[in-house]
């Protein structure tokens, strides 16, 4: 035992001092054992163990009860997600997330334009339409287009399209390349991690999203 304790001290002690075992230093007086107190403590431990077992039994019974109730409620009840319009989706999720990532939606220095007029909508030459968001780089050229959907209507909240370098013109409808769509619970749409990270050319952006 002495060697084991010395090894612990050697490995982990703050002020280790090498010592030798000296049997004469062992205490010789006998300690009185309080048998009554030991029995009392043992009895208390047994009571606590019994209480714990009783609580475990109650928890198991409640778990079985609630599980059965859950299955019954699933069959009897109906839960419907509140319908959101495309406008509500944009204001509640996309606007906020774009701003949190550093995009500016309002002001003289805004680098995001909403309801942006484009030509060549749906691949039809000369057909005009509007896209929900256009994200612009520091050079004033469009980096990406973001389209939102009503979350309750479809299982997608928005699509992100990159604008290739050679087609970064005002006629963006013919320049859009579909890159990705984000799930309904993904409340973020961006062309770069931050507008400051965008390159000088429009096609250098990357689409990203987070849950």
Give me the pLDDT at residue 52, please: 94
Distances (CA, A) of 169 to 52, 128, 165, 203: 73, 15, 9, 12
**196: nearest Cα among 104, 134, 133:** 104
d(CA 185, CA 211): 7
Mean pLDDT score of the chain: 73
pLDDT digits (tens, 9 = 90+) for 22-45: 888 888 887 777 888 888 888 999
- Which H or E element spans position 109? none
Please name every residue paired with 182 in a beta bridge, in sequence order, or none if there are none. 158
CA atoms within 13 Å, Cβ hemisphere of 140: 2
Q: Is the pTM of this model over 0.85?
A: no
């Amino acid at each position: 035992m002495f060697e084991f304790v010395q090894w612990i001290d050697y490995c982990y002690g703050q002020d280790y001092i090498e010592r030798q075992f000296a049997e004469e230093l062992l205490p010789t007086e006998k300690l009185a054992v309080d048998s009554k107190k030991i029995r009392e403590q043992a009895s208390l431990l047994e009571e606590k163990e019994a209480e714990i077992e009783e609580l475990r039994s109650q928890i198991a019974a409640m778990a079985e009860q609630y599980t059965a109730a859950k299955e019954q409620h699933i069959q009897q009840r109906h839960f419907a997600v509140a319908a959101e319009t495309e406008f509500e989706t944009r204001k509640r999720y996309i606007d906020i997330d774009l701003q949190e990532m550093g995009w500016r939606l309002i002001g003289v220095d805004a680098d995001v334009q909403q309801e942006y007029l484009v030509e060549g909508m749906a691949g039809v030459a000369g057909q005009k339409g509007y896209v929900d968001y256009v994200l612009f780089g520091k050079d004033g050229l469009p980096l990406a287009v973001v389209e939102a959907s009503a979350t309750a209507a479809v299982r997608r909240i928005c699509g992100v399209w990159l604008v290739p370098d050679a087609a970064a013109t005002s006629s963006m409808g013919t320049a859009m390349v579909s890159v990705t769509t984000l799930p309904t619970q993904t409340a973020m749409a961006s062309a770069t991690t931050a507008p400051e990270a965008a390159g000088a050319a429009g096609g250098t952006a990357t689409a990203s999203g987070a849950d």
